[in-house]
Amino acid sequence: MHIRDRIKELRRVRAADLQPHPKNWRTHPDIQRDALRGVLAEVGYADALLVRELDDGRLQLIDGHLRAETTPEVLVPVLVLDVTADEADKILLTHDPLAELAEADPEQVRTLVDTCEFAHPQVEKMLDQLEREPAQRPWPDDQQERPEVEIPDSFQIVVECEDEHDQEQLYQRMRKEGYRCRVLTL
Protein backbone atom coordinates (compact mmCIF):
# COMPACT_ATOMS: atom_id res chain seq x y z
CA MET A 1 0.00 0.00 0.00
CA HIS A 2 1.34 3.42 -0.96
CA ILE A 3 0.86 6.02 1.79
CA ARG A 4 1.30 9.68 0.92
CA ASP A 5 3.09 12.16 3.19
CA ARG A 6 0.69 15.12 3.32
CA ILE A 7 2.82 17.36 5.54
CA LYS A 8 4.15 20.33 3.56
CA GLU A 9 5.93 22.15 6.36
CA LEU A 10 6.16 23.01 10.03
CA ARG A 11 5.51 26.69 10.81
CA ARG A 12 5.15 28.79 13.93
CA VAL A 13 2.04 30.94 13.70
CA ARG A 14 0.21 33.21 16.15
CA ALA A 15 -2.74 31.07 17.27
CA ALA A 16 -5.24 33.93 16.88
CA ASP A 17 -4.36 34.11 13.16
CA LEU A 18 -5.59 30.56 12.55
CA GLN A 19 -9.09 30.21 11.10
CA PRO A 20 -11.33 27.77 12.98
CA HIS A 21 -12.79 25.07 10.79
CA PRO A 22 -16.49 25.88 10.19
CA LYS A 23 -17.41 22.19 10.50
CA ASN A 24 -15.54 21.56 13.77
CA TRP A 25 -17.79 19.16 15.66
CA ARG A 26 -15.82 18.84 18.90
CA THR A 27 -16.90 20.68 22.03
CA HIS A 28 -14.68 21.18 25.03
CA PRO A 29 -16.03 20.86 28.58
CA ASP A 30 -14.51 22.91 31.39
CA ILE A 31 -12.63 19.91 32.81
CA GLN A 32 -10.78 19.53 29.50
CA ARG A 33 -10.09 23.27 29.21
CA ASP A 34 -8.73 23.37 32.77
CA ALA A 35 -6.58 20.28 32.28
CA LEU A 36 -5.14 21.67 29.03
CA ARG A 37 -4.23 24.95 30.75
CA GLY A 38 -2.46 22.95 33.48
CA VAL A 39 -0.49 20.80 31.03
CA LEU A 40 0.46 23.83 28.92
CA ALA A 41 1.62 25.65 32.06
CA GLU A 42 3.75 22.72 33.27
CA VAL A 43 4.99 21.24 30.00
CA GLY A 44 4.17 23.65 27.18
CA TYR A 45 3.45 22.80 23.56
CA ALA A 46 4.57 19.26 22.70
CA ASP A 47 2.36 18.67 19.67
CA ALA A 48 1.62 20.59 16.49
CA LEU A 49 -1.79 21.80 15.38
CA LEU A 50 -3.00 20.57 11.98
CA VAL A 51 -3.94 23.18 9.36
CA ARG A 52 -4.50 23.54 5.64
CA GLU A 53 -3.74 26.58 3.54
CA LEU A 54 -6.79 28.31 2.06
CA ASP A 55 -6.77 29.89 -1.42
CA ASP A 56 -6.24 33.35 0.12
CA GLY A 57 -3.18 32.18 2.09
CA ARG A 58 -4.88 32.00 5.50
CA LEU A 59 -4.47 28.82 7.56
CA GLN A 60 -7.56 26.85 8.56
CA LEU A 61 -7.47 24.61 11.61
CA ILE A 62 -8.22 20.93 11.21
CA ASP A 63 -7.06 19.79 14.66
CA GLY A 64 -6.08 21.90 17.68
CA HIS A 65 -8.99 24.29 18.07
CA LEU A 66 -8.89 24.26 21.88
CA ARG A 67 -5.14 24.80 22.02
CA ALA A 68 -5.39 27.75 19.62
CA GLU A 69 -8.32 29.19 21.57
CA THR A 70 -6.50 28.75 24.90
CA THR A 71 -3.29 30.50 23.78
CA PRO A 72 -4.36 33.07 21.15
CA GLU A 73 -1.24 35.26 21.42
CA VAL A 74 1.29 32.42 21.43
CA LEU A 75 3.32 31.39 18.37
CA VAL A 76 2.19 27.78 18.08
CA PRO A 77 3.67 24.95 16.01
CA VAL A 78 1.45 24.02 13.06
CA LEU A 79 1.82 21.29 10.49
CA VAL A 80 0.65 22.67 7.16
CA LEU A 81 -1.00 19.83 5.27
CA ASP A 82 -1.36 19.52 1.53
CA VAL A 83 -5.01 18.42 1.59
CA THR A 84 -8.22 19.44 -0.17
CA ALA A 85 -11.27 20.73 1.69
CA ASP A 86 -12.85 17.25 1.42
CA GLU A 87 -9.73 15.57 2.79
CA ALA A 88 -9.59 18.13 5.61
CA ASP A 89 -13.19 17.20 6.49
CA LYS A 90 -12.19 13.53 6.63
CA ILE A 91 -9.29 14.30 8.96
CA LEU A 92 -11.52 16.54 11.10
CA LEU A 93 -14.04 13.72 11.43
CA THR A 94 -11.59 10.86 12.13
CA HIS A 95 -8.45 12.27 13.83
CA ASP A 96 -9.70 12.33 17.43
CA PRO A 97 -11.97 9.25 17.21
CA LEU A 98 -9.03 7.17 15.96
CA ALA A 99 -7.00 8.19 19.01
CA GLU A 100 -9.96 7.38 21.27
CA LEU A 101 -9.97 3.78 20.02
CA ALA A 102 -6.72 3.15 21.89
CA GLU A 103 -7.21 1.19 25.09
CA ALA A 104 -5.58 1.93 28.42
CA ASP A 105 -3.23 -0.50 30.15
CA PRO A 106 -4.28 0.08 33.79
CA GLU A 107 -0.89 -0.99 35.20
CA GLN A 108 1.02 1.36 32.90
CA VAL A 109 -1.40 4.19 33.73
CA ARG A 110 -0.84 3.63 37.46
CA THR A 111 2.95 3.52 36.96
CA LEU A 112 2.92 6.80 35.04
CA VAL A 113 0.57 8.48 37.52
CA ASP A 114 2.80 7.36 40.41
CA THR A 115 5.95 8.72 38.74
CA CYS A 116 4.61 12.05 37.42
CA GLU A 117 3.93 14.99 39.68
CA PHE A 118 1.77 17.90 38.59
CA ALA A 119 1.29 21.17 40.42
CA HIS A 120 -2.05 21.95 38.78
CA PRO A 121 -5.10 20.35 40.42
CA GLN A 122 -6.91 20.34 37.05
CA VAL A 123 -4.36 17.89 35.69
CA GLU A 124 -4.61 15.73 38.82
CA LYS A 125 -8.40 15.64 38.38
CA MET A 126 -7.99 14.48 34.77
CA LEU A 127 -5.53 11.77 35.84
CA ASP A 128 -7.88 10.56 38.58
CA GLN A 129 -10.53 10.10 35.91
CA LEU A 130 -8.05 8.30 33.65
CA GLU A 131 -7.18 5.86 36.46
CA ARG A 132 -10.86 5.15 37.13
CA GLU A 133 -11.82 4.74 33.48
CA PRO A 134 -10.37 1.25 32.84
CA ALA A 135 -11.99 -0.01 36.04
CA GLN A 136 -15.39 1.17 34.84
CA ARG A 137 -15.34 -1.29 31.95
CA PRO A 138 -16.26 -4.80 33.09
CA TRP A 139 -14.02 -6.31 30.39
CA PRO A 140 -11.50 -4.07 28.60
CA ASP A 141 -10.94 -6.27 25.57
CA ASP A 142 -12.20 -9.33 23.73
CA GLN A 143 -9.53 -11.60 25.23
CA GLN A 144 -11.07 -11.61 28.68
CA GLU A 145 -13.96 -13.88 29.52
CA ARG A 146 -17.25 -12.08 29.77
CA PRO A 147 -19.63 -12.90 32.60
CA GLU A 148 -22.27 -15.50 31.87
CA VAL A 149 -25.65 -13.96 31.15
CA GLU A 150 -28.67 -15.86 32.35
CA ILE A 151 -31.28 -16.13 29.60
CA PRO A 152 -34.59 -17.56 30.79
CA ASP A 153 -36.18 -20.39 28.81
CA SER A 154 -38.65 -19.20 26.21
CA PHE A 155 -40.63 -21.57 24.02
CA GLN A 156 -41.94 -20.06 20.77
CA ILE A 157 -43.39 -21.07 17.44
CA VAL A 158 -42.96 -19.21 14.18
CA VAL A 159 -45.82 -19.81 11.78
CA GLU A 160 -45.64 -18.90 8.10
CA CYS A 161 -48.81 -17.32 6.77
CA GLU A 162 -50.02 -16.99 3.18
CA ASP A 163 -50.45 -13.22 3.38
CA GLU A 164 -51.09 -10.31 5.75
CA HIS A 165 -54.80 -11.12 6.06
CA ASP A 166 -54.02 -14.74 7.02
CA GLN A 167 -51.46 -13.45 9.55
CA GLU A 168 -54.00 -11.08 11.13
CA GLN A 169 -56.64 -13.82 11.46
CA LEU A 170 -54.21 -16.26 13.08
CA TYR A 171 -52.96 -13.53 15.44
CA GLN A 172 -56.53 -12.70 16.56
CA ARG A 173 -57.39 -16.38 17.04
CA MET A 174 -54.26 -17.05 19.14
CA ARG A 175 -54.89 -13.95 21.28
CA LYS A 176 -58.48 -15.12 21.95
CA GLU A 177 -57.08 -18.48 23.10
CA GLY A 178 -54.88 -16.65 25.64
CA TYR A 179 -51.49 -16.80 23.95
CA ARG A 180 -49.09 -13.87 24.12
CA CYS A 181 -48.35 -13.09 20.49
CA ARG A 182 -46.23 -10.77 18.40
CA VAL A 183 -46.54 -10.11 14.72
CA LEU A 184 -43.34 -10.49 12.70
CA THR A 185 -42.90 -9.61 9.07
CA LEU A 186 -39.70 -10.93 7.53
Per-residue pLDDT of the chain in tens (186 residues, 90 and over written 9): 778 999 999 999 999 999 999 999 999 999 899 999 999 999 999 999 999 999 999 999 999 999 999 999 999 999 999 999 999 999 999 999 898 888 888 889 889 988 988 888 888 888 888 877 654 444 445 555 656 766 677 777 888 888 888 888 888 898 899 888 877 766
**Structural domains in the chain plus CATH codes:** 7-102 (3.90.1530)
pLDDT of res. 147: 62
pLDDT of res. 27: 93
Phi, psi of 80 (to 5 degrees): -85, 120
| 8 Å CB contact between 183 and 167 | yes
Q: What integer best gives the mean pLDDT of the chain?
A: 87
- The C-alpha atoms of residue 105 and residue 32 are separated, in whole angstroms, by 21
Among candidate residues 131, 127, 108, 107, the one with its CA nearest the CA of residue 117: 127
DSSP H stretches of helix in 23-163: 30-42, 65-70, 85-100, 106-115, 121-136
Each residue of 103-145: pLDDT tens digit?
A: 888 889 889 988 988 888 888 888 888 877 654 444 445 555 6
- The helix/strand/coil state of 79 is strand
pLDDT of res. 36: 94
pLDDT of res. 136: 47
